[in-house]
C-alpha cells in the first residue's frame, strides 16, 4: 500500500490523549490516527449517502408534512 505523510496541528489535549492511547494499546501514534481518520471518513461517507437518499425522497414526493408529525408527537402524550 502506498502511503503519504499528512501533517495537522491538533490541540495539545488531543495529542496527549493520542499518546495515552498509544501507550495503553501498545500501538504507534500513527496507527491510532489512521484508525480514527478511517472511521471518520467512513462515517462522513455514510452521512453523505443518507443525505442524498433523503433528497431523492423529497424529489420523489416521499415526505410527511409537519402537521402530521406534530399530530403524531402530540398523540404520544395521550393515554392509550
| Distance, CA of 23 to CA of 25 (rounded, Å) | 6
Which candidate, 47, 3, 50, 11, places its Cα nearest to that of 28?
3
User: CA of 50: how far to CAs of 9, 33, 42, 43, in Å?
Assistant: 30, 26, 12, 11
Query: How open is the CA angle 36-41-13, to the nearest 5 degrees?
Result: 35
The pLDDT of residue 3 is 94
The pLDDT of residue 33 is 97
Residues of the chain falling short of pLDDT 50: none
The pLDDT of residue 78 is 87
pLDDT in tens, 46-68: 999 999 999 999 999 999 999 99
The pLDDT of residue 1 is 87
The pLDDT of residue 80 is 73
Full-model pTM? 0.76
| Distance, CA of 34 to CA of 25 (rounded, Å) | 14
Amino acid at each position: 500500500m502506498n502511503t503519504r505523510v499528512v501533517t495537522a496541528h491538533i490541540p495539545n489535549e488531543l495529542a496527549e490523549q493520542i499518546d495515552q492511547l498509544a501507550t495503553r494499546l501498545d500501538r504507534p501514534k500513527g496507527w491510532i490516527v489512521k484508525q480514527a481518520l478511517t472511521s471518520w471518513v467512513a462515517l462522513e461517507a455514510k452521512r453523505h449517502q443518507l443525505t442524498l437518499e433523503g433528497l431523492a425522497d423529497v424529489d420523489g414526493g416521499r415526505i410527511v408534512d409537519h402537521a402530521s408529525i406534530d399530530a403524531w408527537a402530540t398523540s404520544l402524550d395521550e393515554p392509550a
